Structure 1
């Protein structure tokens, strides 16, 4: 089965999309999200690109320029969301202030929390029905193991080709069309298409825990596909166990959360006190 057919099969097997869906592809300027955007467009879906400008100097500028060029060449509408405008501070400023206050959260954790917040909020405001991300098979295997190692089994219930345990009108479902695609295959496909993408990792992720897990998997030659397939066998039971949680709306911003205050507002509060 060739690469494109494998992605199409994942979409069909897990009912990720219908022709009625309006899809916001969360773009970063990298190979995974660009490939996702290209294929969903090629398959005839109603897609637009969404990119958060993190203001991480030249790295962000280059990625944003790549996405702009790609969208222009492929006649795809691009929605750019300004991180600083949304929160009042740049990402690097938030990260550095939290670090100065001895709040032990790495760059990837802070970035992930705040990017998901923006993307969900903007997708809902712009009437999108799905958010598509570029997460691949290797990403999923790493995340499953990271949550296991940290004892955060509940977080694994949110994984899978389509995210989520609890449904809510303010949560836009997130899908992963590249769920069963290996990173190396995506890179090869992206290069074969000459996509204008950045193959370098984010400069803020040098000490990321995920990177150490990734290297460990490679070192021990573990089969990521088997990890993910074994995980999917227990996912329905895992979701059934955790499905009884209740959705609240943040006391400060009104966004959905499992607690009284969302994680993003908790970070902003720590920033200001």
Structure 2
């Protein structure tokens, strides 16, 4: 009978193929928490006194981030708030918003729900029903970043914590390489340093945690999460790359870790050669920070108005 590698308990809930370790429920939960807190210290993601705004969708990743950071919040190391973005995806987003509200209320933290409709006078469903040639993820990513930065400033946050996990990060590395977006590669990492004080620094506490372990953590902790996937994600390039990496991982269980480690070694060289500096001003239309007369969100809105 296989037993927990750490405590010897017989009720094992996970065996990590990349390391050969097996863990019972309690040891798995404790190990995941210690790993993430260690990464927060290692990469200096959070400093004492920070107010961290959690991008809380209600899904497994953001709920795990909230759960981990709550341990710092309860010890008065940080202040914490949350924002939930409703993109306007009928039949999908409603449950996530409810779950996010419940978690924020349970922890007693400040929480805002912001909609695409209120911010941009449209929804993702409306956009994708139009004749636009851009993919859903392109619009969603730009609009979400715009909202997060504005909410962080309005709520006095010093950091924005997102739920990007190991799968997400390796997908982003491979996607940008395949598309030749070398400049985008220079911005991938555990901590996105801002080119300007007008942008709030973003952090990824789950960057080295595989997606399946995030899901298991939520179940082991008894955390209510929204497990449904975005209906637009499967048709995206990211979705295709994600499936490719999962197929590779079946026979090569360390592939995501080696991809991440290799990239982190290369990044300083890539950044030195390809990183560009931009003068960041204010968008003439919305007043948010932008390297051009119009920020990308306002550019997209203008394009949609003319279609």
TM-score range, shorter chain: over 0.9
Q: 1: distance between equivalents of 2:200 and 2:128?
A: 27
Match of 2:209 among 168, 181, 184: 181
Match of 2:244 among 184, 205, 216: 216
Superposed CA offset, 1:70-118 (max 9, x none): 2222222211112211111222112322xx1xx4211111111101111
Verify the 8 A CA contact 2:196 2:280 in the aligned structure 1. yes
Q: Look up the match of 1:195.
A: 223
TM-score (norm 2): 0.83
Q: Look up the match of 2:128.
A: 95
Q: 2: distance between equivalents of 1:72 and 1:248?
A: 37
Match of 1:65 among 89, 98, 112: 98
- Residue 55 of structure 1: CA displacement? 2.3
Superposed CA offset, 1:125-162 (max 9, x none): 22111100000111110000000010101101111000
Verify the 8 A CA contact 1:95 1:110 in the aligned structure 2. no
Residue 207 (str. 1) matches residue 207 (str. 2) = no
Secondary structure of 1:2's aligned partner: helix
Residue 238 (str. 1) matches residue 266 (str. 2) = no
| Greater alpha carbon shift after TM alignment, 235-244 vs 43-52 | 235-244
Residue 14 (str. 1) matches residue 43 (str. 2) = yes
Verify the 8 A CA contact 2:56 2:82 in the aligned structure 1. yes
Match of 1:78 among 111, 120, 134: 111
Secondary structure of 1:81's aligned partner: strand
Secondary structure of 2:214's aligned partner: helix
| Unmatched tracts of structure 2, length 5 or more | 1-29
| Unmatched tracts of structure 1, length 5 or more | none
Q: 2: distance between equivalents of 1:218 and 1:43?
A: 33
Verify the 8 A CA contact 1:248 1:259 in the aligned structure 2. yes
Match of 1:160 among 180, 189, 203: 189
TM-score (norm 1): 0.93
Q: 2: distance between equivalents of 1:176 and 1:148?
A: 20
Verify the 8 A CA contact 1:124 1:172 in the aligned structure 2. yes
| Greater alpha carbon shift after TM alignment, 75-84 vs 60-69 | 75-84
Secondary structure of 1:58's aligned partner: coil
Q: 1: distance between equivalents of 2:289 and 2:269?
A: 24
- Residue 50 of structure 1: CA displacement? 0.7
Q: 2: distance between equivalents of 1:125 and 1:259?
A: 23
Q: Look up the match of 2:27.
A: none
Residue 227 (str. 1) matches residue 255 (str. 2) = no
Q: Look up the match of 1:144.
A: 173
- The number of equivalent residue pairs is 268
Q: Look up the match of 2:64.
A: 35
Verify the 8 A CA contact 1:132 1:176 in the aligned structure 2. yes
Q: Look up the match of 2:89.
A: 56
| Greater alpha carbon shift after TM alignment, 213-222 vs 167-176 | 213-222
